[in-house]
């Protein structure tokens, strides 16, 4: 996979991707990340990337010329190329979107700044707009890093245990179950006996029920009946779920 990031703060991206899972993916040549300084695509001596909005109002807007030039300068080595604008107005990012994007060959991420981007960028360049939440940040750099981290860890070979990534919270629509490690007892707190039983069927049932119970308590909005089995629903009813 190749990911190009267009930003006015290139070091912010370059430094962050040099650690952990993302750095490992790059080292293993499963991922290539290219960071582009938007100011490199300007023509004036001040390297201006923003200007006032037509019609007045507070705030500056990213100009269309540098953004068009930046995207057009990126090699299109595949037809499977998506241009993503990070913006509070976009679709709310979730695990299923991360999974879908992890199957792409080439992503270009535009980090918004100031009041946003000229509308012509949205109309002509962008194929998708994505938000990481209903709040406003100073720019799209942190959202871009959130997307990159969530997407890259789903690429086979990036994480040592690929199944571990597939079993994380939200992977099947609900939160993950509790997990424990050694020692079996710590300060009077014991690991649930079922996890020490060695019975795969009982363990799987316990994990599913615990995940359902945790989701019911913390994120009721995630419990969609079309994703639940009859056994799930019967268990949830014992917890008061209607």
Q: What is the pLDDT of residue 66?
A: 97
Percent of the chain with pLDDT over 70: 95
Q: What is the pLDDT of residue 161?
A: 58
Q: Residue ranges of the domains in the chain?
A: 2-152, 169-237
Could you tell me the pTM of the whole model? 0.88
Q: Hey, which residues does 111 pair with through a beta bridge? A: 86
The tens digit of pLDDT for each residue in 75-106 reads 877 778 999 999 999 999 999 999 999 999 99
d(CA 68, CA 174): 40
Write the CA distances from 115 to 49, 56, 70, 89, integer angstroms: 12, 12, 19, 12
d(CA 68, CA 141): 19
Q: Hey, which residues does 129 pair with through a beta bridge? A: 85
Between helix 230-237 and helix 200-218 the angle, nearest 10°, is: 60
Mean pLDDT of 54-76: 93
The neighbour count for residue 56, using CB atoms within 10 Å, is 6
DSSP states along 64-90: HHHHHHHHHHS----S-EEEEEEEEEE
> CA nearest 8: which of 43, 34, 47, 44?
47
Q: What is the pLDDT of residue 227?
A: 84
Average pLDDT over all residues of the chain: 93
Buried b / exposed e over 104-141, threshold 16 CB at 10 Å, is bebbbbbbbbbebbbeebbeebbeebbbbeeeeeebbb
Domain boundaries 169-237, corresponding CATH code = 1.10.1270.20
Domain 2-152: CATH superfamily, name plus number:
SPOUT methyltransferase, trefoil knot domain (3.40.1280.10)
238 three-state secondary structure = coil
205 three-state secondary structure = helix
Q: What is the pLDDT of residue 224?
A: 85
Q: What is the pLDDT of residue 75?
A: 83
Q: What is the pLDDT of residue 203?
A: 97
The tens digit of pLDDT for each residue in 146-203 reads 999 999 999 999 997 554 555 565 667 899 999 999 999 999 999 999 999 999 999 9
* Pairing mode, strands 106-111 and 60-62: unpaired
d(CA 87, CA 92): 10
Q: What are phi and psi of 135, to 5 degrees?
A: -155, 170
> CA nearest 62: which of 72, 83, 74, 48?
48
């Amino acid at each position: 996979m190749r990911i190009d990031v267009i930003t006015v703060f290139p070091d912010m991206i370059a430094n962050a991707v040099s650690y952990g899972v993302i750095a490992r993916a790059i080292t293993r040549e499963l991922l290539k990340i290219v960071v582009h300084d938007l100011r490199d695509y300007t023509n004036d001596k001040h390297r201006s990337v923003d200007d006032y909005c037509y019609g007045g109002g507070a705030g500056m807007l990213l100009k269309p010329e540098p953004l068009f030039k930046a995207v057009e300068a990126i090699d299109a080595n595949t037809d499977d190329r998506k241009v993503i604008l990070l913006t509070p107005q976009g679709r709310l990012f979730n695990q299923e979107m991360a999974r879908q994007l992890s199957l792409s060959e080439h992503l270009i991420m535009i980090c918004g700044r100031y009041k946003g981007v000229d509308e012509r960028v949205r109309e002509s360049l962008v194929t998708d707009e994505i938000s990481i939440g209903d709040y406003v940040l100073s720019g799209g750099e942190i959202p871009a890093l959130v997307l990159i981290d969530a997407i890259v860890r789903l690429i086979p070979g990036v994480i040592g245990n690929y199944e571990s990534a597939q079993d994380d919270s939200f992977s099947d629509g609900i939160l993950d179950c509790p997990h424990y490690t050694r020692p079996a007892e710590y300060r009077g707190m014991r690991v649930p006996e079922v996890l020490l039983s060695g019975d795969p069927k009982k363990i799987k049932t316990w994990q599913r029920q615990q995940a359902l119970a945790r989701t019911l308590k913390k994120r009721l909005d995630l419990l969609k009946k079309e994703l639940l089995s009859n056994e799930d629903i019967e268990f949830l009813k014992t917890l008061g779920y209607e």
